Amino acid sequence: MSPPDTLQTQRRRAILCVLAAAVTYALAAVCVKALDGRIPLAQVVLFRSLFALPVLVVLLMRAGGWPMLRTKNPMGHFWRAIWGLVGMVTVYYGYTRLPLANVTALGFTMPLFLTLLSVPLLGEKVGVRRFSAVLVGFGGVLLMLRPWETLGEDWLASGIVLLGAVGWALAMISIRRMGESGEPGVTIVMWFALYCAAMSLVVAVPGWVWPSALQWLLLAGVGAVSGVAQLFMTAAYRSGDTTVVAPFEYSGIIWTAALGFLFWGEVPDARDAAGMAVLVACGLYIWHRETRLGLKR
């Protein structure tokens, strides 16, 4: 096989892996939404972490085994876990209150917040083009939320999801700092799962609710499916160039919209769809500009 064919095969495999990751993350969202808020969020996070661990251990073994858990940056992992937990809890809350596609779209504001936070926290310079894309992207958020029409529960839930996007952006900055210091990706992933399990257990015990048989299945689904999604995403970025793979993450809106319609009859209205389109377009433009500028996320 010629080298170009090999490169094309790797790219196709990477794209298929990231599409599979988007589908599996959407399935995890369905499991969370199906719980309907009847299980405390701390328990959902706990079981998400516990049921994902066996899948992540496979990743750890492939990368070098238990020695990969050694770290020189325990506080870096701690803060990555804190911000990641903020992102996870808020998005899970959003799934129980909002249409799946809306939560996914609002989650894609993360690159907008990351661009803004990279200035004070990473010392980056954001030019007029990227800053303009951020402003337009938040215009898409306003188009979805329409606070001038209502300040009801949906608006509040959307604000909480946006807070989670800030948490994910701060988590990404923590990951970048640890990566630059030489911390392997699998070490970061495993410590996040372990911290999440420990922290959520402490919070979950006082208000523990015993799940029913169906709820056990859904909780196992959240964890196992999320773990499989992590494997797909890792395989995607391991075998494909980020510039090729990253845009396909936005397919998540398609899958969550389809599943939301299939299970709950959710149909975004015209303004929601327009806001989603603006957010995706701005996210892709920011990704394009960062690629041109040689920035690493």
pTM of the entire predicted model: 0.90
If you search the block for the tokens 């969370």, which residue do you land on? 32
Res 179: pLDDT? 82
Q: How far apart are CA 113 and CA 108, in angstroms?
A: 10
For 231-256, how does the pLDDT look when each residue is reduced to its tens digit (9 = 90+)? 888 778 766 666 678 788 899 999 99
Please, is 295 exposed, middle or buried when counting C-beta atoms within 10 Å of its C-beta (0-12, 13-18, 19+)? Answer: middle
Q: Are 231 and 55 in contact (CB under 8 A)?
A: yes
Q: Residue 1 above 50 pLDDT?
A: no
For 268-296, how does the pLDDT look when each residue is reduced to its tens digit (9 = 90+)? 888 889 999 999 999 999 888 888 777 66
Q: What is the mean pLDDT of the chain?
A: 88
Q: How far apart are CA 287 and CA 297, in angstroms?
A: 9
Res 134: pLDDT? 93
